[in-house]
Amino acid sequence: MTDVDHVRPVPDGTPQGVPSAGDAARLADLLHRAGLGDEAAFAEFYDATSARAYGLALRVVRNPAHAEEVAQEAYLDAWRSSTRYDRSKGSAAGWLLTIVHRKAVDRVRSVEAATARDETWNRETAPTEHDQTAEEAHASLDAARVRSAVATLTDVQRRAVELTYFGGYTHTEVATLLDVPLGTAKTRIRDGLIRLRDLMGVAS
């Protein structure tokens, strides 16, 4: 999965390519303006985040049409609750992607989508028409950084994190999939994430 391009670990946890403070502040400002009803600001916020939001939804639900619905619902939720975003509690992108992930997971876990997930594995079908955004330019850099951090995880940690975050499985399901005790799955997910947090220099 994400470890195919093995990149050497980031030296001594120095945060590299972490979205710059200016970038994060800009997104938070845009969201704040959106809360005041500024649609143009929200459009800008969309342009800066849509590749990640859509990519995450697609990775979890797999079906492009469903992914689009999930992302659309998430953005509408984000617009509606933009006044509730508190920048002291985290980044605007992180806030948005939390909404996207929650919706994507709800989608794959609902009875209706459970069948769809089994039937469709066509995420490689590239959309024919898409927006080119500046976000894409940063994406490969981010991806390399994430891959290098992920490469330092133990095999169980990595698979536990990937199966939960990208697969949308519960920790109980992950324990079964990886054939480890339930307590182990829970701990590996947390240990793995904490390691990634430290390597990628995430601070609250």
HSE at residue 168, side-chain half, CA atoms within 13 A, is 21
Looking at residue 110, the DSSP 8-state letter turns out to be S
Q: How far apart are CA 105 and CA 83, in angstroms?
A: 24
What the block records as the tokens of 95 is 């806030």
Q: How far apart are CA 168 and CA 149, in angstroms?
A: 21
Pick between residue 81 and residue 119 the one whose CB is nearest to other proteins: 81
Pick between residue 22 and residue 163 the one whose CB is nearest to other proteins: 163
* Positions in 6-45 near other proteins (CB under 8 A): 34-37, 39, 42-43
Could you tell me the smallest distance in angstroms from the CB atom of residue 119 to other proteins?
18
User: For residues 156, 158, 161 and 167, what is the CA-based torsion angle, rounded to 10 degrees?
Assistant: -100
Decide if residue 196 touches other proteins (CB under 8 A).
yes
Decide if residue 193 touches other proteins (CB under 8 A).
yes
Give the chain's end-to-end CA distance (angstroms, integer). Answer: 28
Binding flags for other proteins, 130-149, as an x/- string (CB under 8 A):
xxxx-xx-xx--xx-xxx--
Pick between residue 4 and residue 22 the one whose CB is nearest to other proteins: 4
Could you tell me the smallest distance in angstroms from the CB atom of residue 120 to other proteins?
16
Among 4, 11, 22, 84, binds other proteins (CB under 8 A): 84
